[in-house]
Structure 1
């Protein structure tokens, strides 16, 4: 039996969720579109850390990506500063940190509002689906090109994806792109180098797999049969 929340409760939940979405949209516009954060200054500050630069880069990059600084720029910066091998490790650690930060913030800011808006019964069904496939949903999203990982992590958090699934899924799914963008950053000025060609090839394969997985997942969801309603037991007289 579907739970129907009072209209005022739904309006309050929708208003709270709307505020969260508005804040994220403004943040995305300022950082990703208007570029209010100077990446060159960030790079020079990290470079000034000397031998500790990789350790400084991880939390700084994780926070910047969580506020929608493009991950491709941060990964390219990592490759330029640390080279393809260490840079890939640093980029991947940063991507995992971003997933944890955005997932926790999304859960704290939007979880109760999302549940209040869609109802407890539907939320419980979503929770059950997440328990079965949340990890691979995160992995699949990381493979699909053109989707902001930070924005997706906020959404995953709002829908209750556990932290361990966010971390593990981001680690698995972000590894190919971490190598690709870091290697391209390390190859700046030498795009004819074998490393650049390898990175481009990995990107093409990963994007193809991601597009196929997204299409297949959508078809499976669309074609999934609707379960028959459970008949209520007869009332004994």
Structure 2
């Protein structure tokens, strides 16, 4: 119950972070697409390598900060950023830097969505009846599995996987753990592609970004998806037998 002596925040104030993110995403799509592109990385690769060699720690910090901004504001170029992490820092520790930046950015947009809409939307879903309530209860009962699934399935957009948990009252620590661990397989794949960009640049080609759908890559990821879904299947079977 709300304390009448406590000041209430205007709904618009609570939504300001989400409004800022939406505005930044639109402006970024219009003005930054040419700067956060494979061509920009190719044309500036020598300058980036020279700066990294002279200022390694600063480059790492600047790279992670840039990745956080790209994810938090849903700017174009997350895939290029991942490739850049591999190009500058090799598969490891490049994958670690990519996962760290992506996780921090995801947490920021998760918190903005929860602060702006999550609490009220979660309360409405909890108080609803029928199919909507059953769906929410099903997700609540299998949060860990669902969180890992939406991270592992390549077809789920990253920003969707950031927003949905915020609206379903997922605890922050679960979101952080499932995001960090769940994006590792895909991050390692694309970081390894970035690590080989030197040869790609030398041949005048573009990287194969569809590599994650190659059978030798996709099948292990689908195996992880099935493993994450196993608790849901077991619960469903047990419930059916109990009925």
Please state which band the TM-score falls in when normalised by the shorter chain: 0.5 to 0.7
Instruction: Indicate yes or no: 2:51 matched with 1:55.
Output: no
CA distance in 1, matches of 2:62, 2:25: 24
Whether contact under 8 Å (2:18, 2:112) holds in the other structure is no
Which residue number corresponds to residue 6 of structure 2? none
Instruction: Indicate yes or no: 2:187 matched with 1:181.
Output: no
Q: Which of the numbers 201, 217, 223 marks the counterpart of 1:203? A: 217
CA distance in 2, matches of 1:30, 1:214: 37
Q: Which of the numbers 147, 164, 168 marks the counterpart of 1:138? A: 147
Whether contact under 8 Å (1:143, 1:206) holds in the other structure is no
Gaps of 5+ in 2: 1-10
Gaps of 5+ in 1: 1-12, 229-237
Instruction: Indicate yes or no: 2:121 matched with 1:114.
Output: yes
How do residues 1-237 of structure 1 correspond to structure 2 at under 5 angstroms?
A: 27-31=24-28, 33-34=29-30, 36=32, 38-39=35-36, 40=40, 48=51, 50-52=55-57, 53-68=59-74, 69-115=76-122, 117-118=124-125, 120=127, 129=138, 132-190=141-199, 203-209=217-223
CA shift, 1:23, in A, is 6.8
CA distance in 1, matches of 2:84, 2:173: 28
Distance 1:130 1:222, change over 3 A: closer
CA RMSD of aligned residues (A): 4.6
The alignment's TM-score, normalised by the length of structure 1, stands at 0.65
Deviation string, structure 1 residues 60-108 (Cα, Å, up to 9, x no partner): 2122112223432111011111111111111111122122112111111
Whether contact under 8 Å (1:144, 1:214) holds in the other structure is no
CA distance in 1, matches of 2:226, 2:119: 33
Whether contact under 8 Å (2:15, 2:115) holds in the other structure is no
Deviation string, structure 1 residues 24-50 (Cα, Å, up to 9, x no partner): 66554443x435262248986897472
Give aligned pairs, total. Answer: 208
CA distance in 2, matches of 1:19, 1:120: 26
Distance 1:48 1:120, change over 3 A: farther
The alignment's TM-score, normalised by the length of structure 2, stands at 0.64
Distance 1:210 1:112, change over 3 A: same
CA distance in 1, matches of 2:116, 2:148: 23
